[in-house]
Structure formats: structure tokens, C-alpha cells
A and B are shown apart, each in its own frame.
Chain A
């Protein structure tokens, strides 16, 4: 099941610079998308989401961009901080029918921010 893909297993960035994490999806029925951050031995922590009717959503240092025609979304973190070092998961869902709330996850990208 490759409906949501994060093609970069890891990303290394210098503190203060921009981190860009990418995610592609294949299922046109997805109508909302989320980014989660996960530290070892903890559950995923919700970061930011975007509905398919928008192309951008911003929350502090985090911005998610959605390109529906390309079935691509990205998470920008500016400026990056060492505390941002974690695994980032992209997830997608469909708000209709019995699948309401069910999330399909990507494989995750390990972000390392160097001081």
C-alpha cells in the first residue's frame, strides 16, 4: 500500500535554515492531510493539517503547502531548531463515509537539525 509516500528517509539541516519535507500521494479521494512529529518511544504528535480546499496553511514556524494537481504536499520549518530533530510523518484521510478519521501514513522522514 503506497498511497502516501515520503521518498526521503532522512534530511539533515543546519540550525536556522529551512527544512523542507516532502510527501506524495496517489489517492484522489484524500481530502485532508496532516503532518505528525514523532520522538523515539513516544506517539506521533500532531503538528499541522491542511484541507484539500486550501493550498497553504501556516502555524508559527510550520507551513504546509498542498499541490493537488501534482498530488504533493510539503512541510516547511523556518527557522529550523535542534529540538525539531525527530521523525516526521505525512498522513492523509478522507472525511467521507465510514473512513472518516482513518489516516494513511507515509514511511516517515528523519530530520536532523545540527547546531
Chain B
């Protein structure tokens, strides 16, 4: 069964450092998303990406965040200068046409120290 894969599974970084979280969505999917879940809280929408551009972003997704699909397969989330409050599980998701069938990756646990 096709799946969304994310790397790394766990990343520890110092406050102020840049991190890049990587995702390989399902190959024929067209819509791509990043979500995050802070420990004990809800899964929150960060950004959606379609046709090589951001279609919507949340208030959380400020100037420190950016997304790219550099080579048509990978989908990356960059945090330019990490803060302690960026510590969370980050999930990548994708779907083909129907949003009711979004597939999620296993997540990257980001720990900012």
C-alpha cells in the first residue's frame, strides 16, 4: 500500500537553529499539507500546498516557516530559527482529489532545546 514517508523520525535541535523536515508524499497525489501536534494538544493545520504554491496557511505559519517541493517528489518544511515552542510532532499529509481520503506520514518529533 502506498504511504507517506517522513524523515527524520526524531530531530533534536538547539534554539535558534534552522531545521528542515522532509516528506515524500504518495507519488500521484496533488495536494500536500503540514500539520503539527504539540504534546497533549490537538493536531493543528499549518499549511497547504497545491500546484507548487501555498494555497492556505495558518496563523502559526509565520515568516520563520517555509515549504518547498524542490524536485517533484520531496515536500519540505523549513523552520528558520527554531524556538522552544516549536517542539512538537510534525505530520505531512497528501491526497489525490478527495480531501476525505488524506494520508498522513508517521511524523517527525522535533525537540528544541
| Residue positions of A touching B, CB distance < 8 A | 32, 34, 36, 41-46, 49-51, 89, 91, 93, 95, 98-108
- Which residues of the partner chain B approach A100 to less than 8 Å between Cβ atoms? 31, 48, 50, 55, 99
Interface string of B34-51 (1 = CB under 8 A from A): 010000011111001010
Q: A57's closest neighbor in chain B, by CB?
A: B100
A-B contact count (CB 8 A): 71
Q: Find out whether the CB atom of B45 lies under 8 angstroms from the CB atom of A46.
A: no
In this assembly, does B101 line the interface, its C-beta being within 8 Å of a C-beta of chain A?
yes
Q: Find out whether the CB atom of B101 lies under 8 angstroms from the CB atom of A44.
A: no
Q: Find out whether the CB atom of A102 lies under 8 angstroms from the CB atom of B101.
A: no
Q: Give the shortest distance, in Å, between B73 (CB) and chain A (any CB).
A: 18
- 23 A-B pairs, CB-CB below 8 angstroms? A32-B99, A32-B100, A34-B102, A43-B93, A44-B91, A45-B104, A46-B103, A51-B100, A95-B99, A98-B48, A100-B31, A100-B99, A101-B48, A101-B95, A102-B45, A102-B99, A103-B35, A103-B43, A103-B99, A103-B102, A105-B35, A105-B42, A108-B42
In whole angstroms, how far apart are the Cα atoms of A99 and B56 in the complex? 6
| Residue positions of B touching A, CB distance < 8 A | 4, 6, 31, 33, 35, 41-45, 48, 50, 55-56, 91, 93, 95, 99-107
